[in-house]
Amino acid sequence: MKNPVQKILFPTDFSETAQNAFRHALVLADQWEADIQLLHAVYPEYAPTDLPVMSTKATRDKVSFAKAALKSFTEMGITQVQMGYSFKRVPAVQSDVEIGSPVGIVNRIADRDEADLIIMGTKGEHNALERTLGSVTTGVIEGAPCSILVVPEEAPMSTAKSVAYAADLSETDAYYVWKAGQLLKPFSPIMHIVHVRNGQTTNEHIDLDELKGVFADNVPALQLQFHDIKGDSVTDALDEFIELTDIDMLVMFAPHHNLLRRLFHRSNTKKMAMETHVPLLLVKREE
């Protein structure tokens, strides 16, 4: 049976944040036996006239620079990973430079080339939503045709052996737990299904025992543990669980509007306390 991830799309801006995420991508691609497509978006240059005429030479120069930078970026990433990790096979890496805005290009190329997963680095900014997702990443999540793995700038290198799925107890949670399990099957992870009860009004449709029952006699390959925890803040409780349980990947489904609002909207949390230090896998349903 083929691996669930065969083609990874990796957008890069050549930053150290992207370099760190690329190291993650290389290790994960090795486990999935997947290929990586590097992508850099070049903003077009325009001539200083009253007409929006693209300055062909200036744009061409930026594209040439980006192609050379992609080559160096790839070589550096592979070298850095090999200092502490032995590849089963070095993943095949292809490079692509496109002209336009990053969000539109990433989603278009992911759709055109039928990417199985997008991996992106994200850098901390001013609030919890930006810290975890970043503005470009947020745009990609809205329109991406596949699942997305967001790697925070300081996330340490690890494989997905211990995973926390943040459950909102919606009717679709069972599907997304199964889908996440399929994506991560090569890693044989222990999946911790975590629901945080904080006393706020929620749109829960099932309880944790019902979700547990769905998997009681099915999907024996999944190693599932269920946790119903209390906390005044969902973000604080999840953050504490990640630290205490030594979680190396957080999983949510996207769009996951209710839980995203609970996690990141200021009006629903007293403190923007969750600075994610582990990769965040946002699982998307196929259309």
Cβ atoms of residues 146 and 110 within 8 Å: yes
Query: Residue 79 corresponds to which amino acid?
Result: T
Distance CA 205, CA 221 (A): 26
Domain assignments of the chain as residue spans, ordered by start: 7-152, 162-283
Output the pLDDT for position 19. 93
Mean pLDDT within 123-146 = 65
Model confidence pLDDT, tens digit, residues 91-127: 999 999 998 888 889 999 999 999 999 999 887 554 4
Output phi, psi for 65, to 5 deg.
-60, -45
Regarding beta strands 190-197 and 223-230, do their DSSP bridges make them parallel or antiparallel, or are they unpaired? parallel
Distances in Å between the alpha carbon of 233 and those of 200, 208, 228, 229? 10, 19, 14, 11
More confident of the two residues 37 and 101: 37
Mean pLDDT of the chain: 80
Which pair of tokens denotes residue 88? Answer: 């089963």
Task: Give the other-Cβ count within 10 Å of 132's Cβ.
Answer: 24
Which pair of tokens denotes residue 129? Answer: 């939503």
Run of H or E residues at 151 = strand 147-152
* 162-283 fold: Rossmann fold (3.40.50)
Task: Identify the band that residue 272 occupies on the pLDDT scale cut at 50, 70 and 90.
Answer: very low
Which pair of tokens denotes residue 199? Answer: 């006393």
Cis amide prior to 102 (ω within 30 degrees): no
Distance CA 73, CA 62 (A): 16
- The β-bridge partners of 37 are 9, 94
Residue 190 has pLDDT above 70, yes or no: yes
Task: Identify the band that residue 287 occupies on the pLDDT scale cut at 50, 70 and 90.
Answer: low
Residue 222 has pLDDT above 80, yes or no: no
Task: Identify the band that residue 28 occupies on the pLDDT scale cut at 50, 70 and 90.
Answer: very high
Distance CA 283, CA 94 (A): 24
The CATH number for 7-152, chosen from 3.40.250.10, 3.40.1190.20, 3.40.50.1580, 3.40.50.620, is: 3.40.50.620
Task: Give the other-Cβ count within 10 Å of 49's Cβ.
Answer: 8
Query: Residue 163 corresponds to which amino acid?
Result: V
Model confidence pLDDT, tens digit, residues 194-212: 888 776 645 555 677 777 7
Task: Identify the band that residue 20 occupies on the pLDDT scale cut at 50, 70 and 90.
Answer: very high
Residue 166 has pLDDT above 50, yes or no: yes
Query: Residue 197 corresponds to which amino acid?
Result: R
Mean pLDDT within 166-173 = 76
